[in-house]
Structure 1
Amino acid sequence: MTPEERRLRAKLGAHVSWANTADPAERTAKARRAFEARFEREADPEGVLPPEERARRAKHLRDAFYTRIQLKSAETRRKKKAAQQTAA
């Protein structure tokens, strides 16, 4: 099987799986909770902060995480555009 065929089979399986899922939010809830908990652990690894302070710090860590992704995406788009202009 070629890489393209494997990709298409995986895509087909994912579509069928999601079509048979009654509650998509419930299906991904555990993963979302784990993702959020990651930032709380980073903000308060020893578990000594009050819950409100831990949540505040975790929010900023989460925002920083997404901002890093946005920055990397912008850099990638800029480099891709420059490469296309150079090739033209």
Structure 2
Amino acid sequence: MNPTERSMRARLAAHISWANTLDPASRTAKARAASMGRFEKQGREKHPDATEEQIARVAQHLKSAYFQRLALASAKSRRKKR
């Protein structure tokens, strides 16, 4: 099987899998919790005396900063390729 066919087959399987899932949020809940846990851990390391509400706010900002950093790196990479 060539790479194009393999990619098409994988996309087909993904669509079938998601078609069999009525509640996508519950299917991905563990992964989202684990991801957010990473940022909460970083927040607790930065602010050990913070309340849970403060940690949640800090974690959300750390998550946003992480994805913004990825977007910046992606833009630099695309610019360099031109």
Q: TM-score range by the shorter chain?
A: 0.7 to 0.9
Structure 2 match to 1:11: 11
- What RMSD in Å do the two structures reach over aligned CA positions? 2.0
Give, in angstroms, the shift of residue 60 of structure 1.
2.0
Q: Cα distance, 1:70 vs. partner?
A: 1.5
Q: Point out the structure with max Rg over C-alpha.
A: 1
Residue of structure 2 in register with 1:76 after alignment: 77
Partner of 1:34: 34
| Identical pairs, percent | 52
- Alpha-carbon offset, residue 48 of structure 1: 4.8
Which structure's relative contact order is higher, taking Cα pairs within 8 Å and 6+ residues apart? Answer: 2
TM-score (norm 1): 0.76
Instruction: Give 1:4 shift.
Output: 2.0
Read off the aligned partner of 1:30 and give its amino acid letter. K
Unpaired segments of 5 or more residues in structure 2? Answer: none
Provide the TM-score with structure 2 as the length reference: 0.81
Inter-partner Cα distance in structure 1 for 2:57 and 2:16: 39
Runs of 4+ in 1 over 6 A off after TM superposition: none
1:6 & 1:24 partners in 2: Cα distance?
25
Count of matched residue positions in the alignment of Structure 1 and Structure 2 = 81
**Residue segments in structure 1 that go unaligned for 5+ positions in a row:** 83-88
The answer for the alignment partner of 1:60 in structure 2 is 61
